[in-house]
């Protein structure tokens, strides 16, 4: 699991620290990594998958439209997309019947009858519940008559902390963060190009840092673009 210190360590080592001077303070590096790299760029390819139960009677989530509700992320994360809405009317077609919901044998017959009733209604009704995510935090559900008292929204959100990055994607994030900081530092060094020391004039080599950062950035983005999107398939 990534932490502030582990991200700083990776980036500083990648920049040659402490043998080369870094023109950004630790807090500056972390701010850029979290607020820019993590949220704006990395989350686009590797979002956080979240689930939130919305109570349509909750005044905090209501809007002026009866079929529009607010998705209030508990971490105040930016919402990227909504990929599913689950209500009491949804028919679960995956998994086994027994044990799927922690039921005992005496509860099973009644649940199975309800399941068959819902399946029959689904096949014969002309009403289908659809949803649309409206940026930045709204979900529209149509038609109004099909909205349940409570429903669960499944959505993709931005990361707000390093800890939420999947372990198997950490290396991609670290490479992207290092590349971004390299590009940032090259912009800073370009303004000065050389510095005077007791040993004479020293070149800051901003061109090399920029070239290295650009190459690492492009290669990492190419890897991220190979990650398949989350797709919901309706098999009938």
The model's pLDDT over 128-141, given as tens digits with 9 standing for 90+, comes to 568 889 999 999 98
User: Which residues have C-beta within 8 Å of that of residue 218, sequence separation ≥ 6?
Assistant: none
Is residue 235 included in any domain, yes or no?
A: no
User: Which residues have C-beta within 8 Å of that of residue 110, sequence separation ≥ 6?
Assistant: none
Contact status, residue 89 vs residue 150, Cβ threshold 8 Å: no
> pLDDT digits over 37-67, tens only?
999 999 999 999 999 999 999 999 999 999 9
Of 157, 181, 202, the position where a domain reaches its end is 157
Instruction: Tell me the average pLDDT of the chain.
Output: 81
- Are 119 and 215 in a shared domain? no
- Are 120 and 141 in a shared domain? yes
Is residue 187 included in any domain, yes or no?
A: yes
- Are 144 and 53 in a shared domain? yes
- Are 55 and 153 in a shared domain? yes
What is the pLDDT at residue 93?
A: 38
- Are 41 and 56 in a shared domain? no
- The domain total for the chain is 2
> pLDDT digits over 181-218, tens only?
999 988 888 777 666 555 555 566 778 889 999 999 99
Over 60: is that where the pLDDT of 161 sits? yes
């Amino acid at each position: 699991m990534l932490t502030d210190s582990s991200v700083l360590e990776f980036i500083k080592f990648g920049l040659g620290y402490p043998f080369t001077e870094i023109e950004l303070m630790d807090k500056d590096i972390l701010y850029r990594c979290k607020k820019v790299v993590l949220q704006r760029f990395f989350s686009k390819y590797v979002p956080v998958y979240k689930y939130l139960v919305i109570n349509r009677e909750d005044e905090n989530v209501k809007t002026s439209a009866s079929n529009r509700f607010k998705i209030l992320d508990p971490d105040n994360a930016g919402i990227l997309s909504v990929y599913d809405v689950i209500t009491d009317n949804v028919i679960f077609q995956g998994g086994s019947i027994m044990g799927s919901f922690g039921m005992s044998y005496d509860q099973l017959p009644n649940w199975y009858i309800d399941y068959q009733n819902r399946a029959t209604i689904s096949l014969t009704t002309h009403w289908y519940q659809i949803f649309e995510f409206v940026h930045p935090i709204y979900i529209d559900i149509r038609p109004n008559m099909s909205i349940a008292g409570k429903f669960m929204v499944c959505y993709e959100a931005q990361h707000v902390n390093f800890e939420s990055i999947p372990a198997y994607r950490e290396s991609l994030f670290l490479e992207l963060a290092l590349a971004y900081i390299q590009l940032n530092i090259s912009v800073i060094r370009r303004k000065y190009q050389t510095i005077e020391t007791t040993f004479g004039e020293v070149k800051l080599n901003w061109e090399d840092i920029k070239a290295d950062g650009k190459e690492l950035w492009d290669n990492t983005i190419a890897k991220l673009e190979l990650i398949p999107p989350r797709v919901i398939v309706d098999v009938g």
